[in-house]
Structure 1
Protein backbone atom coordinates (compact mmCIF):
# COMPACT_ATOMS: atom_id res chain seq x y z
CA UNK A 1 0.00 0.00 0.00
CA UNK A 2 1.40 3.40 -1.03
CA UNK A 3 0.92 6.35 1.30
CA UNK A 4 -0.10 9.60 -0.38
CA UNK A 5 1.68 12.64 1.00
CA UNK A 6 -0.22 15.90 0.76
CA UNK A 7 1.87 18.52 -1.01
CA UNK A 8 2.78 21.70 0.81
CA UNK A 9 1.80 25.05 -0.72
CA UNK A 10 4.21 27.98 -0.79
CA UNK A 11 2.07 29.76 1.84
CA UNK A 12 2.21 26.73 4.13
CA UNK A 13 5.98 26.57 3.69
CA UNK A 14 6.31 30.23 4.71
CA UNK A 15 4.30 29.48 7.86
CA UNK A 16 6.54 26.51 8.72
CA UNK A 17 9.97 27.96 7.91
CA UNK A 18 10.81 28.96 11.50
CA UNK A 19 9.87 25.54 12.84
CA UNK A 20 11.95 23.95 10.06
CA UNK A 21 15.01 26.02 10.94
CA UNK A 22 14.55 25.21 14.64
CA UNK A 23 14.18 21.49 13.79
CA UNK A 24 10.74 21.52 15.40
CA UNK A 25 8.77 19.83 12.60
CA UNK A 26 7.56 16.27 12.82
CA UNK A 27 9.38 13.88 10.49
CA UNK A 28 6.34 13.91 8.18
CA UNK A 29 6.15 17.71 8.05
CA UNK A 30 9.91 17.95 7.50
CA UNK A 31 9.63 15.53 4.58
CA UNK A 32 6.78 17.59 3.07
CA UNK A 33 8.80 20.79 3.57
CA UNK A 34 11.90 19.35 1.90
CA UNK A 35 9.87 17.80 -0.94
CA UNK A 36 8.44 21.25 -1.68
CA UNK A 37 11.68 23.22 -1.36
CA UNK A 38 13.64 21.03 -3.77
CA UNK A 39 11.82 22.01 -6.99
CA UNK A 40 10.52 25.43 -5.84
CA UNK A 41 13.12 28.09 -6.58
CA UNK A 42 11.07 30.87 -4.98
CA UNK A 43 10.78 29.02 -1.68
CA UNK A 44 14.47 28.06 -1.75
CA UNK A 45 15.27 31.75 -2.17
CA UNK A 46 12.93 32.65 0.70
CA UNK A 47 14.53 30.03 2.96
CA UNK A 48 17.99 31.37 2.10
CA UNK A 49 16.86 34.95 2.86
CA UNK A 50 15.44 33.93 6.24
CA UNK A 51 18.63 32.03 7.15
CA UNK A 52 20.73 35.06 6.16
CA UNK A 53 18.49 37.43 8.13
CA UNK A 54 18.71 35.27 11.25
CA UNK A 55 22.49 35.07 10.92
CA UNK A 56 22.88 38.84 10.49
CA UNK A 57 20.43 39.79 13.21
CA UNK A 58 22.20 37.42 15.57
CA UNK A 59 25.33 39.53 15.19
CA UNK A 60 23.66 42.80 16.26
CA UNK A 61 24.02 43.79 19.89
CA UNK A 62 21.88 46.42 21.64
CA UNK A 63 24.94 48.67 21.73
CA UNK A 64 25.08 48.58 17.91
CA UNK A 65 21.66 50.23 17.58
CA UNK A 66 20.70 53.86 17.85
CA UNK A 67 17.57 54.46 19.95
CA UNK A 68 15.61 55.20 16.76
CA UNK A 69 16.78 51.99 15.09
CA UNK A 70 15.89 49.97 18.17
CA UNK A 71 12.41 51.51 18.31
CA UNK A 72 11.88 50.83 14.60
CA UNK A 73 12.92 47.19 14.92
CA UNK A 74 10.80 46.61 18.01
CA UNK A 75 7.81 48.25 16.32
CA UNK A 76 8.24 46.12 13.21
CA UNK A 77 8.44 42.97 15.30
CA UNK A 78 5.36 43.88 17.33
CA UNK A 79 3.38 44.62 14.16
CA UNK A 80 4.49 41.38 12.54
CA UNK A 81 3.87 39.32 15.67
CA UNK A 82 0.33 40.66 16.14
CA UNK A 83 -0.82 39.49 12.68
Structure 2
Protein backbone atom coordinates (compact mmCIF):
# COMPACT_ATOMS: atom_id res chain seq x y z
CA UNK A 1 0.00 0.00 0.00
CA UNK A 2 1.39 3.39 -0.93
CA UNK A 3 1.02 6.48 1.18
CA UNK A 4 -0.66 9.52 -0.29
CA UNK A 5 1.79 12.24 -1.25
CA UNK A 6 2.01 15.39 0.85
CA UNK A 7 3.71 17.27 -1.98
CA UNK A 8 0.85 19.67 -2.71
CA UNK A 9 0.53 20.67 0.95
CA UNK A 10 4.32 20.92 1.38
CA UNK A 11 4.53 23.30 -1.60
CA UNK A 12 1.43 25.29 -0.74
CA UNK A 13 -0.06 25.53 2.72
CA UNK A 14 2.94 24.40 4.73
CA UNK A 15 5.37 26.65 2.85
CA UNK A 16 2.97 29.60 3.24
CA UNK A 17 3.04 29.08 7.01
CA UNK A 18 6.82 28.67 7.16
CA UNK A 19 7.39 31.84 5.10
CA UNK A 20 5.97 33.82 8.02
CA UNK A 21 8.94 32.80 10.17
CA UNK A 22 11.51 35.57 9.84
CA UNK A 23 14.26 33.21 10.97
CA UNK A 24 13.61 30.74 8.12
CA UNK A 25 16.24 31.24 5.43
CA UNK A 26 15.81 28.09 3.32
CA UNK A 27 13.00 25.61 2.74
CA UNK A 28 14.05 22.26 1.28
CA UNK A 29 11.83 19.74 -0.51
CA UNK A 30 13.26 16.27 -1.16
CA UNK A 31 11.58 14.17 -3.84
CA UNK A 32 10.00 10.89 -2.78
CA UNK A 33 9.38 9.48 -6.26
CA UNK A 34 12.59 10.52 -8.02
CA UNK A 35 15.90 11.98 -6.96
CA UNK A 36 15.28 15.70 -6.82
CA UNK A 37 15.91 18.38 -4.26
CA UNK A 38 14.35 21.83 -4.42
CA UNK A 39 15.55 24.69 -2.28
CA UNK A 40 13.62 27.87 -1.71
CA UNK A 41 16.01 30.56 -0.41
CA UNK A 42 14.89 33.82 1.16
CA UNK A 43 16.02 36.94 -0.67
CA UNK A 44 15.47 40.55 0.26
CA UNK A 45 12.04 40.82 -1.36
CA UNK A 46 11.21 37.34 -2.63
CA UNK A 47 12.03 33.65 -2.38
CA UNK A 48 14.50 32.20 -4.90
CA UNK A 49 13.72 28.72 -6.32
CA UNK A 50 16.73 26.45 -6.92
CA UNK A 51 16.06 22.98 -8.39
CA UNK A 52 18.72 20.25 -8.11
CA UNK A 53 18.87 16.95 -9.96
CA UNK A 54 21.18 13.98 -10.38
CA UNK A 55 24.80 14.98 -9.82
CA UNK A 56 24.23 18.61 -8.80
CA UNK A 57 25.85 19.56 -5.50
CA UNK A 58 23.13 20.81 -3.14
CA UNK A 59 24.15 24.06 -1.48
CA UNK A 60 22.47 25.14 1.75
CA UNK A 61 23.85 28.59 2.48
CA UNK A 62 21.99 28.96 5.78
CA UNK A 63 23.92 25.97 7.15
CA UNK A 64 27.09 26.65 5.15
CA UNK A 65 27.14 23.10 3.76
CA UNK A 66 27.20 21.38 0.39
CA UNK A 67 25.72 17.91 0.03
CA UNK A 68 25.79 15.36 -2.75
CA UNK A 69 22.50 13.94 -3.99
CA UNK A 70 23.92 10.50 -3.15
CA UNK A 71 24.28 11.51 0.52
CA UNK A 72 20.64 12.54 0.73
CA UNK A 73 19.38 9.38 -0.94
CA UNK A 74 21.81 6.97 0.70
CA UNK A 75 19.99 3.72 1.59
CA UNK A 76 16.75 5.01 -0.03
CA UNK A 77 14.92 2.79 -2.51
CA UNK A 78 12.52 4.72 -4.72
CA UNK A 79 9.39 3.08 -6.12
CA UNK A 80 9.17 2.37 -9.81
* TM-score normalized by the length of structure 2: 0.28
> Which of structures 1 and 2 has the bigger CA Rg?
1
Higher helix share: 1
Higher strand share: 2
